[in-house]
Every structure is written in structure tokens, then in C-alpha cells.
């Protein structure tokens, strides 16, 4: 079962389901849907198998994003390393603590 599901029920179009697995995809799509209001009433949103609103789906995805980054900051740290032949270029990488 997917956590996020978006079902298109537009009468002239093809009925299709979009099941994004990444919270960034959900956030981008929900912000577009909420701002445009073009397909209002033709899209159904499901959160963990239960029907919900676009705002609830957006809040859940943002909560998952915040939880992901909170865990990442606990287990990893960001450092700068010098790369290239001369070591002039700096690049940031994540390493485990």
C-alpha cells in the first residue's frame, strides 16, 4: 500500500492513479493543485488508504520531510572537502557521525 495516492476522475480524460513515493514530488504537486484550483473536484487524494483533502496530504508530506531531515542531522554531519588536482574546489558531503 502506498502512503500517498492521487486519483484523477476527470470525465473526459483517462482515469489514472499517481502514487508518488517521494515526499518532494507530493509537495510540489500539492502546491500546484492548491494554487491552480483548476481540477477542483476531479482529483481525489488518499493518505494511507483513506480519503483526505489536498491540504492534509501537503501537511503529511511536509511532516515526513521534516522528520527525514531531523533524522539526517542526528546521524550525519556535513563537511567540506577539497577536490581536484590543486584542491582548489570545495564540495560539501554528508558523512556518518
Instruction: Provide the domain limits for residue 61.
Output: 4-96
Instruction: Please count the structural domains in the chain.
Output: 1
Among 7-11, 43-47, 65-69, 90-94, the range scoring the smallest mean pLDDT is 7-11
The yes-or-no verdict on residue 32 having pLDDT over 90 is no
State how far the Cα of 45 lies from the Cα of 5, in Å rounded to an integer: 6
pLDDT of residue 80: 94
Amino acid at each position: 500500500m502506498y502512503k500517498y495516492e492521487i486519483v484523477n476522475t476527470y470525465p473526459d480524460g483517462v482515469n489514472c492513479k499517481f502514487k508518488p513515493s517521494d515526499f518532494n514530488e507530493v509537495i510540489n504537486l500539492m502546491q500546484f493543485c492548491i494554487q491552480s484550483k483548476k481540477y477542483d473536484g476531479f482529483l481525489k487524494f488518499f493518505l494511507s488508504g483513506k480519503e483526505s483533502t489536498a491540504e492534509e496530504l501537503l501537511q503529511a508530506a511536509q511532516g515526513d520531510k521534516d522528520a527525514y531531515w531531523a533524522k539526517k542531522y542526528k546521524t550525519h554531519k556535513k563537511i567540506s572537502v577539497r577536490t581536484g588536482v590543486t584542491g582548489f574546489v570545495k564540495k560539501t558531503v554528508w558523512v556518518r557521525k
